[in-house]
């Protein structure tokens, strides 16, 4: 008997074989790599990952699913199971100075905070491939001046190269979600490609700017950037946050 999906964990189990194969092909796991799967669920991605010969760490918060996984994968490869909350998992400690490859069909109710958690540990990863709610994927890849562009767009694009791979219909899951899904790839930018800025100050400026996105920057950043700061950055304080590029946010950070 298969484990039932639990609403409190936001579970929608991937079951369509063609989509599984497409994700694995895009991820392209190799023997000897260290891979982390977030939310293995019923093992749709777990089994083909193990068959590729990688060392696989699986993070599963659901105790029932975690209990079933060892028997499911017995004799199929090398699996290290972590019955843990991915939102609190220390990926950097697992990497031990190296870099992990990360993959997962992320629970939609935690995908945004989980992405911010992984952002903090980007140095421990070499690439990540995730199934996400399409709305979240669109926000990640959004460009300035668009409705989807926001804090998530700026922070992730500052640190990662974002690639939208393909969309997935609800019928690929059990139970089917009420939304479309997308598969995306995130690769940490090398230092030479990153905009040099203090990360903590940058994050504060971006969060404040989008905290009241309907307001002008003069109002949303009141107490954070003064008029002299806007002048030094060469940015009109009457603009709104969604019109700024990452480079302009960095300039505002430096002038704050």
Tens of pLDDT, residues 219-246: 999 999 999 999 999 999 999 999 999 9
Q: Which CATH class is domain 199-255?
A: mainly alpha
- Residue 9's pLDDT band (boundaries 50, 70, 90)? very low
Looking at every residue in the chain, the average pLDDT score rounds to: 93
Each residue's pLDDT tens digit, 120-162: 999 999 999 999 999 999 999 999 999 999 999 999 999 999 9
Q: Which CATH class is domain 7-192?
A: alpha beta
- Residue 7's pLDDT band (boundaries 50, 70, 90)? very low
Q: Using alpha carbons only, what angle is made at residue 224 by residues 238 and 141, rounded to the nearest 5 degrees?
A: 70
Residue 65 phi, psi dihedral angles, 5° rounding: -65, -40
Mean pLDDT of 173-193: 93
Predicted confidence at residue 252, as pLDDT, reads: 96
CA atoms of 214 and 220, how far apart (whole Å)? 9
Residues of the chain with CATH 1.10.8.100: 199-255
7's tokens: 């609403």
Q: Which residues contact 131 (CB under 8 A, 6 or more apart)?
A: 14, 23, 104, 105, 106, 168, 181, 182, 183
Residues of the chain with CATH 3.40.50.150: 7-192
Q: Which residue pairs from 3-7 have beta carbons closer than 8 angstroms and sit at least 24 positions apart in sequence?
A: 3/41, 3/42, 3/62, 3/64, 3/65, 3/68, 5/174, 5/175, 6/62
Predicted confidence at residue 32, as pLDDT, reads: 86
- Residue 8's pLDDT band (boundaries 50, 70, 90)? very low
CA atoms of 13 and 237, how far apart (whole Å)? 46
Name the residue among 157, 189, 167, 175 with its Cα closest to residue 42. Answer: 175
Predicted confidence at residue 11, as pLDDT, reads: 56
């Amino acid at each position: 008997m298969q484990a039932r999906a639990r609403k409190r964990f936001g579970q929608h189990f991937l079951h369509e074989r063609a989509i599984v194969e497409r994700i694995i092909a895009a991820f392209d796991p190799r023997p000897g790599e260290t891979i982390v799967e977030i939310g293995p669920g019923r093992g749709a991605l777990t089994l083909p990952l193990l068959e590729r010969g990688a060392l696989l760490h699986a993070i599963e918060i659901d105790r029932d699913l975690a209990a079933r996984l060892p028997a499911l994968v017995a004799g199929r490869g090398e699996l290290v199971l972590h019955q843990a909350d991915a939102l609190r998992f220390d990926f950097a400690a697992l990497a031990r100075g190296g870099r992990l490859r990360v993959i997962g069909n992320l629970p939609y109710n935690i995908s945004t905070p989980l992405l911010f958690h992984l952002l903090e540990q980007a140095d421990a990863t070499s690439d990540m491939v995730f199934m996400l709610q399409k709305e979240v994927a669109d926000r990640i890849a959004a460009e300035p001046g668009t409705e989807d562009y926001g804090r998530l767009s700026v922070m992730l694009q500052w640190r990662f190269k974002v690639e939208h791979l393909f969309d997935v219909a609800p019928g690929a899951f059990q139970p089917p979600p009420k939304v479309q899904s997308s598969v995306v790839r995130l690769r940490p930018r090398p230092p030479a490609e990153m905009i040099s800025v203090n990360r903590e100050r940058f994050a504060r400026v971006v969060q404040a700017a989008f905290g009241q996105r309907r307001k002008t920057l003069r109002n949303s950043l009141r107490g954070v950037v003064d008029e002299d700061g806007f002048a030094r950055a060469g940015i009109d304080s009457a603009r709104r946050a969604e019109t700024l590029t990452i480079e302009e946010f960095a300039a505002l950070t430096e002038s704050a």
